[in-house]
Structure 1
Amino acid sequence: MPRNKRVVTTVAALAGLITVGSIAATAAIPAPTPNGFTQDRSAELAKQINPAKPRNVILIIGDGMDDSMITAARNYEYGAGGRFPALDALPFTGAMTTYGLKVGSGPDYPIAYVSDSAPTASGWSTGKKTVDGRLSQGPSTASNVPGEDYETVLEKYKKQGKLVGNITTSEITDATPAAAASHINARACQGPTDMTNCAEARKVNGGKGSVAEQLVDNKVDVLMGGGASRYAQATDAGSSVLAYAQTTHKYRLVSDAPGLTSVTSLADGPVLGLFANGNLTPMYQPLVATAVGAGGPSTKCTPADRGNQPDLSAMMTKSIELLDNPNGFFLQAESAMIDKQEHASDICGAIGDLKELDETVAVALAYQEKHPDTLVVVTGDHAHSTQIVGGSADDGKQLATVQTADGDPMTVAYSTNAVGSDHTGAQIRVAASGPQAANVTGVIDQTDLFATLLGRTPSTMPGTPVTPGTPGTPGTPTPTPTPAKPAVSTVSAASIAKEVLARRGLRVAVAATGGQKVTIRLVKDGRTLVSKTLGSTGGRVALRTTKAKIGKVKVVATVTGAGGSVTDSQRVRVTR
């Protein structure tokens, strides 16, 4: 089948009925033994499937956190047979692809198999793919040409009246936190004096401003991390971003851990925590790999002096305290220094911040235990080149060895660069607990997280009672479940040339559940130009027609089943 490079959003597991047999899960119950599990876990796992929409959503990101880095940190902290208490206890686990796009003429953009943090964070934030360096903004012909702004999960929840938070151990204006609540063509445009590559975005030119300005203009209720130097920069209007945040949006500045403790409510305004001029200090002192090998069989990582900087778990505790409210909240938290220390080939720095991520997950799960309507999702943004190797001198361009909790040496290698290391294009772990957590299982794409974070249309669990009664009690009939309402979603290019539409067709990806038939149509002014029928779960199709004129048309997908009919549509512009 011809590949449409523009239709890159994976439309998988959409509002589907999830049965135990389809779930790949880690051990939340009971702990594994050398001889394996003594009991089947299906019943316990089934109890944790909850199709309801979550009230609260906590997304925890380990930047650069792939399976290899998780394993290295686990080996060091707990040994080869150990487990992270929180990260490895999440009941639903899957794999997630992280590819992006490259700039081009469009609407078919080349695939970027290795992406940076900007398009990957934009993927789950908006449900759409974009190009390297770009924040929640679509692809375009060149890196300095802005694309279409895509609304984010955080922005959608803000509109719904939920409180929202965004915390990190990097500069708050760095790519991953920036993608949650800003839109700009180049991630480097963090402050108003950093706008060389984002001229159109400057406020003086009618744009939304730098990342620092956009984050406060979006009125994120809790903003915490580093990046004080970005907020000290002068805006086009003359004042600093910090002064602008304080006077225009009533932000209250917090600059250290004691100050964070003193904040007890959002009643007096949103909170801006700036705990360092740049990134926060990693949890462990560096152990940087070298060509001849750093460390040794007895080397241990040493805690770093972090001064009065709060760690991520402390920021998580305070953020939940401030955001908790009857209407619910959305909170994104990033352990950023995993990636940054991997770039530096610093194995101890990366290990320490992955351990801190686990402690942050523990805080979220403790809250979830008392508030079961909370969804907790933990994942990375991309893979990295950290690899556990045998220990020979030729196992990598740079090597470092530490002594793990087992008392044995573990050697890691970095081989993407002669000095430092870089991202890779491998799939990464995604795990979750709480309402709709089962949607992360199997192999999904980052963009698929967008729908899960927002809450999918709830499905009906097999055997769920739908009328009053006590099924299973003698004399009480077991009610027949009402057929679930079907669900359907479409993804296509936002525009297509008239000649391409006639020759190759508009390629559309359709995902559906709960129906027997899916019909996909291209409609202009109420008139169907072309129509095709797909199977019950949808698929990919090319809608080819010579009848379309320049202007707007609509892609309409309809799924019909026992629970009724549901339609989803998307507008497409036909160009010359």
Structure 2
Amino acid sequence: MKKIMLFLFIVSFAASGFPASQTCPDSKLQAKYIFYFIGDGMASTQVYAAEAMVENGRIEDSSGSRMKKLAMSNLDTAGSHRNYATNRLITDSAAAGTAMSCGEKTSVGTISMGPQRERRLPLITNALKEKGLKIGIVSTVSIDHATPACFYANQPSRNSYWHIANQLSDSGYDYFAGGGMKGARVEDGKRVFMPGKKKAAPENDPVEKARRAGYKIACSKEELQEVSPGRKVYAFEPDTLDSSMAMPYEIDRPADSMSLADYTREGIRLLDNPEGFFMMVEGGKIDWACHANDAFTALRDVIALDEAISEAVEFMNEHPEETLIVVTGDHETGGMTMGWAGTGYKTACTMLNSQTASYQMFNKSFLDEHKSKRLEEVGGEWDTSIDMNGSVKDALKDVFGLEYAKLSDYDKQRLEDAYDATMGESGLHRQEARLRFGGYKPITVAATHMFNQKAGLTWTTFSHTAIPVPIYASGAGAEKFGEYMDNTDLPLKIAEAAGIEDFPASRKKLAANSDAR
């Protein structure tokens, strides 16, 4: 009788509606080819808004009209993660990148070290390299920036760019691509070397160090395509990089220059081998555009990341039982939301496609020179009674589709006030100006805000937020990512999918010590 009751209990428990992830066994397939895509500053809103923005974004099928999905949101498994740092609920890219690379929490600004910056943390990339996989690191921002740095360096501060860049060569990894090197070498408070800006002795140059360590420095698409598999490579296009040594925003990228998808495709070609590979690919400037509250620029970079993901999906289709694709963000930036009080329930995300340049390009190609000329015209002193002239109005129409004559009096005044603030005399309290413009060019922020709002999008901050971030996954071990988790779980699950059982040993040691106490 007891056996019968036990059997009935087990049957009823199994049928009780627990999530499939709790009852279905994990895949026994082992991931040999691993793609780890990170959209810096990207959360669910950025993904969904990108889907809504795509031209001809609505299609008909048997179930009626529905929005197209991006490649990332078409992956088989979806979950989410929380991403707080040890010393702050709202994280930064260094603390988040450390958690996503090392499986441990740390303090903001710290690169792959413990929260007190005294203990180096083990990297998932090193564990995979020891297993025999080749390693690739790709980013649209400088290769020594916080997120990529967390996958090959250990430094107390994310601002130690020169020291981070030098660890690129020390890593011995196989493929680095995308951005240049940002940091200067500083001695006694003085810069003795600035990558790309100051000629200095070779020992000061991390790029030259990489060359001496056997890396092929490929500075064009043609040079990269000529590299044979098996050769270590650092690839970037110096002539296209901005002042932060980052790739151009996708909206501004010259047609003949390398895209994130191009670097991903070349990475696959160079890294592919019988032992497998791991490639981390970051869409780093999604974050920067969200900081500036420029929706179209951010969403176009989301789509550029998605095009890189499509390259991985194509590879997975050829190696379906051995490939794992994981896509996520490190945190959300800007507090971007779909829905604005001024448009109510209406949205018009496709209108964003009429924007022709990023906020950065608008400033560089028009606003900076315009401001200099206008101030010269008025003798260097700005008077708030001076209105915007025709050239500003034409530029706002050309870039953001804002026709001044058709704007409401309220919107015209918003632009005029922002223009005065840009020219140096706004009459606004310093705190109010900071809340309105976030330290960016006031007229540019006012224009992007107005343009975004007409599309039904708006922002809450110029900083990061603490909201959870989505995870998408397909392939060998993808079912491990279909739950709500901590960002520190991501590299552990990648390690498990790859058949590495003891990563990170330091985390297990810390847990054991904690249990002992």
The equivalent residue for 1:282 is 249
The residue identity in structure 1 corresponding to 2:246 is N
Structure 1 residues 488 and 128, CA, compared in 2 at 3 Å: closer, same or farther?
A: closer
The structural deviation recorded for 1:257 is 2.5
How many aligned residue pairs are there? 376
What is the TM-score when the length of structure 2 is the normalising length? Answer: 0.66
Question: What residue identity is the alignment partner of 1:425?
Answer: A
Aligned amino acid, residue 250 of structure 1: G
Shift in CA distance, 178/274, structure 1 to aligned 2, threshold 3 Å: farther
> Deviation of residue 240 (structure 1)?
1.6
TM-score, L = length of structure 1 = 0.60
Match of 2:460 among 409, 415, 419: 415
| Structure 1 match to 2:410 | none
Could you tell me how far apart the structure 2 residues matched to 1:340 and 1:23 are?
38
Contact 2:142/2:182, CA 8 A, preserved across alignment: no
Q: Is structure 2 residue 421 aligned with structure 1 residue 376?
A: no
Assess if the C-alpha contact under 8 Å between 1:162 and 1:329 holds in 2.
Answer: yes
**Of the candidates 207, 220, 224, which is equivalent to residue 256 of structure 1?**
220
- Output the amino acid matched with 1:316: T
Q: Distance in 1 between matches of 2:104 and 2:344?
A: 41
Question: How far does residue 489 in structure 1 lie from its aligned partner after superposition?
Answer: 9.6
Q: Letter of the 2:51 partner, please give it.
A: R
Deviates more, 1:320-329 or 1:308-317: 308-317
Q: CA deviation at 1:455?
A: 2.3
User: 1:223 is matched with which residue: 169, 173, 176?
Assistant: 176
2:110 matched to 1:128? no
Tell me the residue number matched to 1:74.
51
Q: Secondary structure at the match of 1:100?
A: coil
Cα 1:23–1:306 change in 2 (3 A) is farther
Letter in 1 for 2:236: G
| Corresponding residue for residue 322 of structure 1 | 270
Equivalent position SS for 2:455: strand
- 1:334 equivalent to 2:282? Answer yes
* Partner amino acid, structure 2, of 1:73: A
Distance change >3 Å, CA 382–CA 429, structure 1 → 2: same
Deviation at 1:72, TM superposition (A): 1.4
Superposed, which structure 2 residues align to 1:33-432 within 5 Å?
50-77=27-54, 78-79=57-58, 81-102=66-87, 112-140=88-116, 146-191=117-162, 210-228=163-181, 230=183, 231-232=195-196, 238-247=203-212, 249-267=213-231, 269-275=232-238, 276=241, 278-284=245-251, 304-306=252-254, 308-372=256-320, 373-384=322-333, 385-392=335-342, 399-401=449-451, 410-416=455-461, 421-432=462-473
In 2, the alpha carbon distance for the partners of 1:492 and 1:235 equals 45
Specify the code of the residue in structure 2 equivalent to 1:92: T
Q: CA deviation at 1:325?
A: 0.3
Return closer, same or farther for 1:92/1:360 CA change in 2, 3 Å cut-off.
same
SS of structure 2 residue aligned to 1:401: helix
Structure 2: stretches of 5+ with no match in the other structure? 1-13, 59-64, 184-194, 346-434, 437-445
Distance 1:455 1:235, change over 3 A: farther
Structure (1/2) with the larger strand percentage = 1
Question: Which moved further from structure 2: 424-433 or 252-261?
Answer: 252-261
Query: Aligned letter for 2:207?
Result: L
SS in 1 for 2:262: helix
Contact in 2 for aligned 1:235/1:241 (Cα 8 Å): no
Contact kept? 1:280, 1:309, Cα under 8 Å: no
Matched residues in 2 for 1:309 and 1:119: separation?
Answer: 32
Structure-1 separation of matches of 2:105 and 2:171: 22
Query: Is the contact made by 1:122 and 1:130 (CA closer than 8 Å) also made in structure 2?
Result: yes
* Residues 79-108 of structure 1 deviation map (CA, whole Å, 9 limit, x = unaligned): 593133411211100011101112xxxxxx
The structure carrying a bigger helix percent of its residues is 2
Measured after TM superposition, the shift of residue 22 of structure 1 is 2.4
**Which structure is higher in RCO with an 8 Å CA cutoff and minimum separation 6?**
2
AA aligned opposite 2:315: Y
Q: Is the 8 A contact 2:30 2:477 kept in 1?
A: yes
- 1:454: how far off? 1.3
Say if 2:103 and 2:492, in contact at 8 Å, map to a contact too. Answer: yes
User: Cα deviation per residue 1:123-159 (whole Å; 9 max; x = unaligned)?
Assistant: 010010001010110011xxxxx32000111111122
Structure 2 CA distance, aligned partners of 1:128 and 1:428?
Answer: 17
Superposed displacement of residue 410, structure 1: 2.3
Aligned-pair distance for 1:237?
7.8
How far apart are residue 53 of structure 1 and its match? Answer: 2.3
> Taking structure 1 as reference, are residues 257 and 270 closer, same or farther at Cα in structure 2, changes over 3 Å only?
closer
Contact 2:111–2:154 (Cα < 8 Å) also in 1:
yes
Write out per-residue CA displacement over residues 322-371 of structure 1, whole angstroms, 9 at most, x where no aligned residue. 00000011110001111110011111110100011111111101101111
Distance 2:323 2:504 in 1: 25
Match of 1:22 in 2: 19
Counterparts of 2:80 and 2:109, CA distance in 1: 24
Asked if 2 retains the 8 angstrom alpha-carbon contact of 1:228 and 1:274, the reply is no
Following superposition, the deviation at residue 49 of structure 1 comes to 6.3
Whether the 8 Å CA contact 2:31–2:498 is kept in 1: the answer is no
Structure 1, unpaired ranges of 5+: 1-16, 26-41, 103-111, 141-145, 192-209, 285-303, 404-408, 459-484, 497-505, 509-521, 523-542, 544-576
Partner-residue secondary structure (3-state), 2:153: coil
1:443 aligned to 2:484?
A: yes
Shift of 1:305: 4.2
* Gap change, CA 1:495 and 1:392, over 3 Å in 2: same
Q: CA deviation at 1:239?
A: 4.0
Alpha-carbon spacing, 1:411–1:425, altered in 2? closer, same or farther (3 Å)? same
CA offset digits 1:482-504 (Å, max 9, x no partner):
xxx9x9999578499xxxxxxxx
After superposition, the Cα gap between the structure-2 partners of 1:137 and 1:274, relative to the gap in structure 1 and judged at 3 Å, is farther
Alpha-carbon distance in structure 1 between the residues aligned to 2:152 and 2:506? 25
Q: Partners of 1:128 and 1:379 in 2: how far apart?
A: 17
CA gap of 1:394–1:148, structure 2 versus 1, over 3 A, is farther
SS in 2 for 1:334: strand
Residue aligned with 1:171, SS: coil
**1:21/1:260 CA distance change after superposition, 3 Å:** farther
Name the SS for the 1:224 alignment partner: strand
Structure 1 residue 20: Cα displacement: 10
Percent same amino acid among aligned pairs? Answer: 23
